[in-house]
Amino acid sequence: MISTISPIEVKRLIEEKGALLVDIRESDEYAREHIEGARLMPLSVFTHLPPATDRERPVVFHCQSGMRSQGNAATLEKYGSSTTYLMEGGLMAWEKAGLPVIRQAVPIPLSRQLQITAGVIITILSVLSFFMPILTWLTLFVGVNLVFAGYTGICFMAKLLQLMPWNR
C-alpha cells in the first residue's frame, strides 16, 4: 500500500534521499505549471511502460489535486519503488505550502477552448431566443455540430479555433 505524505515531507525526501518526483498529469497541464525536477509520466501512458527497475530510490507521484493519484494508487504502485508515496493534495498543496512552481504561458488546450466557446454561444443564443425565436435554430445548429463532432471526431468549431492567432 502506498503512503501519502505532505508536500513538505516530499521536499525533504527529495533533498535528503534523492527521491524521484513523478507528475502523472497530462503534458499540457505540465507545460502550464510544474515542480522543478519533476519527471512527466502521464497516467495515460502508464499501461505502456515497463515496471520500475530502480527499486531503491524513493518515488513520489503527484497530480493537480491528489484525486487522480489516490484513484490510481494501485496502478502507480506497480511503477514505483520499494518506497513509493503519493503527495497529499498534489500540486495545489505544494503551492499552498509556499514551495516553488515553474509557470509558463501556454494557450488553454483546444478541447477546453471548444467547451468555453460552445458554452458561450449556446448561452447567448438561448437568452436571445426569448426575444428572437429564430435564434433557437442557431442554438440547435451548435448542439448538432457538437453531437456530430462526438460521433465522427470532426469538429468544425475546433477547426476554426485552431486558426486563431493564440493557437499558432
- Cell 504502485, residue? 77
Phi, psi of 107 (to 5 degrees): -65, 155
Q: Is 57 helix (H, G, I), strand (E, B) or coil?
A: coil
Q: At what angle do helices 110-128 and 136-152 cross, to 10 degrees?
A: 160
Q: Which helix (H) or strand (E) holds 102?
A: strand 102-103
DSSP string, 8-41: HHHHHHHHHH-PEEEE-S-HHHHHHEE-TTPEE-
Reported residue count of the chain is: 168
Which candidate in 63, 93, 125, 161 is catalytic? Answer: 63
Q: Is 155 a catalytic residue?
A: no
Q: List the one residue out of 67, 23, 65 whose CA is nearest residue 45.
A: 23
The cell for 63 is 497530480
> Which positions are annotated as active-site residues?
63
